[in-house]
Amino acid sequence: MLSYFPPFTLFMKINLRLLFASLVSMAGSVLPISNTTDMEAKKVLFPTDYFSPPLNTPMMLSGTFAELRPNHFHAGIDIKTDNRENLPVYACAEGYVSRVLVSTTGYGNAIYINHPNGFTTLYAHLNTFEGEIGKWVKRKQYALQKFSIDEKLAPNELSVTRGMNIAKSGNTGSSESPHLHFEVRDTQTEEALNPLKFGFKVQDDIRPTVAGVYIYNLEDFDRYYKQSGYWLKNLGNGNYAPATKNGTVNVISSNNPRVGVGIKTYDLANGANNKNGVYSLVCYDNGVPIYGYEMVKVGFDETRYINSHIDYDAKSDGEGYIQKCFLDPANQLRIYNYNQNNGIIDLSDQQLHKITIETKDFYGNVAKVNFMLQYKASTTISNANNDSYAALFLYNNENTYNSSGADIRMPVGTLYKNIYFKYNLKTPQSAGIYSNVHTIHDDNTPVHAYYDIAIQPTNLPPNLTNKTLIAYLANGVQRTLKGTYDGSYVRGRARSFGKFYVMADTIAPKIVPINITQGRNMQAQKGIRLNIADNLSGIDTYNGYVDGQWVLFEYEEKSGKLEYIFDEYTPPGNHHLSVEVSDNCQNSRHLDIDFIR
């Protein structure tokens, strides 16, 4: 009898799978998740008719899933709102509000909805929250006496139905123009999934555009140098070839036996001129795929690895970033479904290698670049220039560096590859700097994790010790780090390279009234508008009170606007307004005004 158990067990497994498949098909058609490396272990199914669109307008995108952004992959899709705000936003399916976010940066105003099928939808850059959600948010803000909140909710607090109006679209947070940012996540893992996998329709029969191809010499210690770049001639039917002013380049000669290639590519959709990201890319060496990815899902724990995925030194232009088709040793992205020898092309045989780079959008429109690549030994040129380096930093080691007045400690995971670390010290040339200027490597090299930096002040007046911070200049922009003075050093944590120095912030933020003056009758106004700004360390807190009662001032960081919409806490009559704003060095400014409503 025991001999019959194995086939019976197999029979049961097969039928359970069939039963599950039948149940899924009853709920709607499904598409299996693409077979990227880490997805074999977890077969996720994408229901293609479970979610309805979040806007009642044709879906046109100004941003695609996982397209390349500064320091992160785009976690959703940006749905165009025709440059308008306050369009109704609808829940895509039944569920409950699991999280509400109100922020001056990032997503701005956002709603997270958990659904019974194991997915979470997110709606961001909202102007206002509607109905019971709006009432809940305002009660929570008044209870906490905070504008910015990030609150998780229990399943029984705020339920929603499919098609319910939950918000109005807007331009809050770090949004640069009105649109709806929309995401679908795996509720359990919180990984961001490509929303287009769920059946949302976008009209797109346009092939991706390929704007350039690049050849990199790969040296020892995982260093690479861009040998050359080529603009591309469109041969028609989605085919491109490298070209110069003199015509098409049939064979590219490399002056190094180990090379990598890079590509600049973007996608257009019908009726829109936005240069969006592509869905997949594969690089072939003599017909063998050596590098490739599909943008199916991205974890938030890995999104900063984008700085290793791209040529960080090249930055972005109107046609996007250069994507390297080879991997740094510490690149831990899980998007790659082809990875042979980290995408490195071995040309040491001195034979012709046919290189093909194929890029696709989500709807299968294809563009290809074809060219021949060959190593010419006689043209070998060393690009190394390490005469002035201070130390060799290994990506898989903890790295430290001490100099006169600076201490740097980088944990494992700070770097994507080995670097010849460079350091330089100069005396300051500007007033208000209380240390030497320490050039920590160069700002064209990306940093993944935070590292510790300590700078010794010079000529720091005793009355400024509690006002110190670390400022740094990277890519021409000055920013600041919160610093703590321990009596010898100002200590902080950095996540980039650049020029670092100690400054002190002694100036309180500015408060500029916009529509209110002393004694003004505000009956014709819907609220009180102010502008606030800080010169160095940045705004930390802001609070407003009417007749001693805390009231909700909404802050928009990108414009500096601080606004209170009159509510039940400001009935008709005479009132006193008090506003206090503090920066990150605890300098405070007060504004007191009497008004009538």
Half-sphere exposure of 213 (CA within 13 A, CB side): 28
DSSP classification of residue 441: S
CATH topology of domain 391-504: Chondroitinase Ac; Chain A, domain 3 (2.60.220)
Question: CA–CA separation, 197 vs 297, rounded Å?
Answer: 10
Output the tens digit of pLDDT for each of the chain's 597 residues: 233 223 333 323 333 333 333 333 333 333 333 344 444 434 568 999 999 999 999 999 999 999 999 999 999 999 999 999 999 999 999 999 999 999 999 999 999 999 999 999 999 999 999 999 999 999 999 999 999 999 999 999 999 999 999 999 999 999 999 999 999 999 999 999 999 999 999 999 999 999 999 999 987 656 777 878 898 999 999 999 998 877 788 899 998 999 999 999 999 999 889 999 999 999 999 999 999 999 999 999 999 999 999 999 998 888 899 999 999 999 999 999 999 999 999 999 999 999 999 999 999 999 999 999 999 886 445 555 555 889 999 999 999 999 989 999 999 999 999 999 999 999 998 889 999 999 999 999 999 999 999 999 999 999 999 999 999 999 889 999 989 999 999 999 999 999 999 999 999 999 999 999 999 999 999 999 999 999 999 999 999 999 999 999 999 999 999 999 999 999 999 999 999 999 999 999 999 999 999
Greatest Cα-to-Cα distance within the chain, rounded to the nearest angstrom: 96
What residue segments make up the domains of the chain, in order of their start?
Answer: 1-28, 46-198, 209-379, 391-504, 510-596
Residue in the structure block whose two tokens are 């020029």: 499
The residues, ordered by sequence, that sit 6+ positions from 220 with a Cβ below 8 Å of its Cβ are: none
User: Helix H segments across 95-230?
Assistant: 131-144
User: Can you give the pTM of this predicted structure?
Assistant: 0.89
Q: Phi and psi dihedrals of 577, rounded to 5?
A: -100, 135
Beta strands 72-73 and 68-69, pairing class: antiparallel
User: Helix H segments across 260-335?
Assistant: 306-309
Ranges assigned E (strand) in 237-303: 239-244, 247-248, 251-254, 258-266, 280-285, 288-294, 297-298
Tell me yes or no: is domain 510-596 CATH 2.60.40.1220.
Answer: yes
Ramachandran class of 540: left when φ > 0, alpha when ψ lies in -120 to 50, beta otherwise: alpha
| β-bridge partners, 469 | 503
Residue 498 Cα distances to 146, 244, 384, 471, angstroms? 35, 35, 21, 10
- Among 1.10.150.530, 3.40.30.10, 2.40.30.110, 2.70.70.10, name the CATH number for the domain at 46-198: 2.70.70.10
Residues in the chain: 597
The distance of Cα 325 from the centroid of its chain, to the nearest Å, equals: 21
The residues, ordered by sequence, that sit 6+ positions from 195 with a Cβ below 8 Å of its Cβ are: 65, 76, 77, 182, 183, 184
The residues, ordered by sequence, that sit 6+ positions from 334 with a Cβ below 8 Å of its Cβ are: 36, 37, 38, 299, 302
Q: What pLDDT score was predicted for residue 100?
A: 98
